[in-house]
Amino acid sequence: MTLMFNGIGVSRGVAVGEAHVLHRYQVDVTARKLTKKQVPAECRRLRRAIKDAKAQLLNTRDNIPKDAPSDISSFIETHILMLDDSVLNDTPIDIIKSEQCNAEAALQQQREALAKVFGTMEDHYLATRIDDINHVIDMVLRELSDTNENLIGENWKGQIVIADDLTPADTIDMQNHGVAGFVTETGGQLSHTAILARSLGIPAIVGVHNIRQYVVPGETLTLDGRNGLVLAEPTEAMLNDVKKRQKAARLKQRELNKLIDTETETLDGIKLQLNANIEIEEDIKAVKRVNADGVGLYRTEFLYLNRNSLPTEQEHYKVYAKVIRALKGSMLTLRTADLGSDKEISARAMTTPRSPLAHNPAMGLRGIRLCLNDTQLFIPQLRAIFRASTKGPIRILLPMLTNTAEVHQTLTLINAVKEDLRKEGIDFDENIPVGGMIEVPAAAIAANHFASMLDFLSIGTNDLIQYTLAIDRIDDQVNYLYDPLHPAVLQLIKLTIDAGIKAKIPVSLCGEMAGDPRYVRLLLGLGLTDFSMPPNSLLEAKRCLLESKRSRIRKHAMALLETTDAHDQLVLLDRINGN
Ligand code: PEP
Ligand code: MG
């Protein structure tokens, strides 16, 4: 029987694949077939997990308080003995070898065999010993789950991953392992996981509550990332329909590819900049493929994720130099680390200890606040940026500005870094423009002040919408309130564009709105001429803009600034998007 699930489509595209259900914080005992070559490593993995579980128990035993009842220590001794027993050592190893399966499945098989034996025992006391066996097996499984990330990753190829939630770091791993798509039970369309999925071209849906209770691992799924629809065990007719849509998407892409070399100019002769957003070095390929004018947002924080130490100055330098060289003279807008909130850095990597859990991380120590708070994290990045600046044109973009003191402080730090480099005789570009993200309502309202201190501004609508409408961008429960057409949001965008025009500095917009075909013309009508978006969105946005006349759109865009009624908003948006 086909089951249908609805969620929030966050990354367009249709995918078909087997379900790979992830149960984090629960031990996954799904059987996986190994190749002959993988078997010895898997046996070692199990032995190591048993050893680690035993070490844990020995540690517990050694730390039992002297006055504790004696049966506690004998209880632990029993578990230690069990871990040494061939029933939990040799037999599961034999199963791994004979069935070429993973350690978890072998342990599970042995657990079921033992449960049968104990279940037939007449002695009640002996029968309940199965509880101890379960406890010990669970301990080993937990140890295994700490080391099984790669093993799971290898099996992701061509599959649709179903998870409770995924981090941006997981998304990068998924792309490396060739997943066909993913579905999560929580998350919003502006989460960095969703942004990365769009940027990496992985079809994705978030906010499908409890889907893991219904999907059977290995069953066929179809995923429609545009409409937020998942089908489990689709019929033949449904599969054919998906294939038809995949074909139509390929044809549409072929048409869009014809625009790759076209200059972006509106029908009334306004020249536009279409830049790309990138997250990782490999994204440059996509930037080249669509022939973006440059990179309007390089989210460098991804360099800090998936690791337990901070990147060194040299690591930063190597990556930046490579990206700049690959861009062959096109501008790279390098945003300094916007860490914190949903791009949380590993606690082990931090140089200054942080309080374990901020109650409201999106409003906590993130972006420029964190960098100014921990300059050991910030200075190596700044030094590397300046050193790499001899390789090609770059701009520095500061995230999450709230007040002009942050700009002052950062500019002072930048000057100190430049002075040190001069003293060390290291070459760098003396005139790198420094700009700021306008993504906090306070900064948008005070955009004039920021414009007078900075060389350019870039509007981050993802955060601007989050903070203006008070909706957590990763919480699917308030996703219904996500409204880029809200007059408060549009007015803040307009204020920032006007502040830039008045100060004669460039203003770009690099939030997801810039690449959304529903909104690009509206932004043009509000006066925007510099767009930065995921490379995959660029050609479609270009087509919309090439077919636009700003003089026609302007009055409808101005009317939208004053409209709160949802129906009226859509009527105006239709007028803007009509040809
Ligand atoms: C934004 O907030 O719009 C933005 C571009 O930054 P990020 O999505 O990385 O927070
Ligand atoms: Mg932001």
Centre of ligand 2 from the C-alpha of residue 105, in Å? 43
Q: Is residue 417 part of a domain?
A: yes
Domain shared by 317 and 222, yes or no: no
In this predicted structure, what is the pLDDT of residue 356? Answer: 46
Whether 555 maps to a domain, the answer reads yes
Distance CA 344, CA 352 (A): 14
Kindly report the protein residue whose alpha carbon is nearest to atom 6 of ligand 1: 460
| Closest ligand 1 atom, residue 195 Cα | 8
The reported pLDDT for the residue numbered 76 is 77
Ligand 1 centroid to residue 380 C-alpha, Å = 23
228: left (phi over 0), alpha (psi -120 to 50) or beta: left
337 and 378 Cβ atoms separated by less than 8 Å? yes
- Residue 381 shares a structural domain with residue 330: yes
Q: What is the pLDDT of residue 458?
A: 98
For tokens 């809200």, name the residue: 486
Between the CA of residue 121 and those of 85, 117, 127, 131, what are the distances in Å? 20, 7, 6, 14
Q: What is the pLDDT, as a whole number, of residue 128?
A: 67
Per the CB < 8 A criterion, the answer to whether 14 and 225 are in contact is yes
| Cα 326 to Cα 274, 287, 291, 308, 320, distances in angstroms | 18, 10, 12, 28, 10
Q: H-type helices in 374-486, by residue range? A: 375-388, 404-423, 441-445, 447-453, 461-469
497/408 same-domain check: no
Ligand 1 pocket by Cβ (under 6 Å): 195, 297, 299, 338, 439, 460-463, 510-511
Which residue in the block uniquely carries the two structure tokens 């423009």?
433
Examine residue 278 and state whether it is found in any structural domain, yes or no.
no
Question: How far apart are the CA of 509 and the centre of ligand 1, in A?
Answer: 10
Residues 523 and 484 in one domain: yes
> Measured in angstroms, how far is the CA atom of residue 362 from the centroid of ligand 2?
10
Please tell me the total count of domains within the chain: 4
| 288 part of a folded domain | no
Spacing, Cα 440 to ligand 2 middle (Å): 9
**CA-proximal residue: ligand 1, atom 1 (nearest):** 460
Which residues on adjacent β-strands are paired with residue 231?
4, 222
Pocket test for ligand 1, best of 458, 463, 512 (most atoms within 8 A of CB): 463
250 belongs to a structural domain: no
CATH of the domain at 343: 3.20.20.60
Domain match, 325 and 382 both = yes
Q: Are 445 and 570 in the same domain?
A: yes
Query: Domain holding 17: CATH number?
Result: 3.50.30.10
Residue 84 covered by a domain: yes
Ion ligand 2 — residues with CB under 5 Å? 439, 460, 463
pLDDT at residue 442 in the model: 98
Q: How many CB atoms lie within 10 A of CB 562?
A: 11
- Say yes or no: 470 and 487 in one domain: yes
Atom of ligand 1 nearest to the CA of 512: 3
Crossing angle of helices 39-62 and 90-99, rounded to 10°: 160
Strand partners, 206: 8
Residues 371 and 472 grouped into a single domain: no
- Ligand 1 atom at minimal distance to the Cα of residue 513: 3
Residues 55 and 85 in one domain: yes
Residue 108, domain CATH:
1.10.274.10
Residue at 257 is within a domain: no
Question: Which residues are known catalytic residues?
Answer: 192, 510
Task: Name the residue at shortest CA distance from atom 8 of ligand 1.
Answer: 462
Give the tokens for residue 423.
Answer: 């003293």
Q: What kind and span of H or E run contains 118?
A: helix 103-119
Position 362 scores a pLDDT of: 87
Structure confidence at residue 149 (pLDDT): 44
Domain boundary among 432, 463, 494: 432
Q: What is the pLDDT of residue 55?
A: 87
Same domain, 440 and 483: yes
Q: Which of 144, 165, 188 is the last residue before a domain boundary?
A: 144
Nearest-atom number in ligand 1 for the CA of 277 is 5
- Nearest residue (CA) to ligand 1, atom 9: 299
Flag whether 483 is in a domain. yes
Statement to judge: residues 564 and 445 lie in one domain = yes
156 plus 137 within the same structural domain? no
Residue 150: per-residue pLDDT: 41
E-strand ranges in 107-207 read 160-163, 181-184, 204-206
Domain termination site, one of 417, 432, 447 = 432
Give pLDDT tens digits along the chain (579 positions): 899 999 999 998 899 999 998 876 566 788 888 889 889 999 999 999 999 888 878 877 777 666 666 666 777 788 888 888 888 889 999 999 999 999 999 999 999 998 888 877 777 666 667 778 888 898 898 888 764 444 445 668 899 999 988 877 677 778 778 899 999 998 887 887 888 888 888 999 999 999 999 998 899 999 999 889 999 999 999 999 988 988 998 999 999 999 999 999 999 999 999 999 998 888 999 999 999 999 999 999 888 876 768 899 999 999 999 999 999 999 999 999 999 877 766 554 565 555 545 678 888 889 999 999 999 999 999 999 999 999 999 999 999 999 999 999 999 999 999 999 999 999 999 999 999 999 999 999 999 999 999 999 999 999 999 999 999 888 888 888 989 999 999 999 999 999 999 999 999 999 999 999 999 999 999 999 999 999 999 999 999 999 999 999 999 999 999 999 999 999 999 999 985
**Domain of 219?**
3-24+150-238
The token duo for 147 is 């080391």
Residue type, 90: D
